[in-house]
Amino acid sequence: MRTAAGYEGRTFEKPEPGIQGIMKLTRRVKEILANYESDNPATRANLARILMEGRLGGTGKLVILPVDQGFEHGPARSFAANPAGYDPKYHPQLAIDAGLSAYAAPLGPLEAAADVTAGQIPTILKLNSANSLSRTKEGADQAVTGSVLDAVRLGASAIGFTIYPGSDAMYDQYEEIRELSAEAKEYGIATVIWSYPRGGALSKDGELAVDVIAYAAHMAALLGAHIIKVKLPTDHLENAEAKKVYQSQNIPIGTLTDRVKHVMQSSFNGRRIVVFSGGAMKGEDSVFEDARAIRDGGGNGSIIGRNAFQRPREDALVLLDRLVRIYQGKE
């Protein structure tokens, strides 16, 4: 503690190095940032921007709105249910009005909505994308569609990148994110890795198997991700050798809360921020049940796209309000 000149008798907590003038960090956010020992002050500041933003600011919990589904699924499948979503300015304004932690999108939408996001909400520039017209299956892959310099120009707090563990193309993806994340760190920008098992010999059930999802989260951590995005795992076990270990070591996977705990343990024993994907549009009760399991399992929150922006704006705001309240421990 220190006393500032002219303010005798009042004490002020010394700010984190490199994060002065942004916000007063909470104890929880300081604990999280301490897990990123090698990062420079600018990268830690950008992580702090995300962790301190919105109604969950300072809690260590996050709700992020990602809108890259236009690439992945096409415009009608993404936005026809709520036509306001065809406008790229709609989504970041929804995230701002709901008090969310960050907004993630590819290059075009972030450029089109730059006047909405600037100074209003941290952004994540998604640097690679796939599309549903591709014939790739075993070799599931994505094209790099943006650059770190685009992220710098747009004032993004982080870059985002998808890897497909299991795909025949995964090694090229690992090399791409190694180069992009190294460049991002030079500019003080954080890295978010979407780690989605797909392709190769994986079965459809295997894409969500708890052993595979935990492995995917661990690989994202190994690749240097600051924030890891994975899907919620089922209790299915895909890999025969892994199944033996889960059974012999009695690893608890019976409930979704158990499985979230295991994914967090696999992410450097909880030393990395992990958010869980909301997936396809589903009923509100399922969204809230998932959030409670994520919270109770020690996860850092939700990254929820279609379950928010495919609903009418007022319905989406009600859903997001309740989601935030769950992560605040109020429900």
Show which residues are catalytic: 229
Enter the tokens of residue 151. Answer: 């992220």
Strands 158-163 and 128-129: unpaired
Distance CA 278, CA 285 (A): 12
Enter the tokens of residue 155. Answer: 């004032």
Q: Are 139 and 119 in contact (CB under 8 A)?
A: no
* Nearest by Cα to 95 from 274, 290, 313: 313
Q: Are 261 and 276 in contact (CB under 8 A)?
A: no
Strands 301-303 and 273-277: parallel
Distance CA 163, CA 216 (A): 9
Kind and range of the H or E run holding 98: helix 90-98
Would you say the C-alpha torsion 20, 22, 27, 30 has a positive or negative sign? negative
Enter the tokens of residue 244. Answer: 């033996």
Q: How many other CB atoms are there within 10 angstroms of residue 10's CB atom?
A: 8
Q: How many other CB atoms are there within 10 angstroms of residue 5's CB atom?
A: 5
> Rounded to an integer, what is the distance from CA 143 to the centroid of its chain?
20
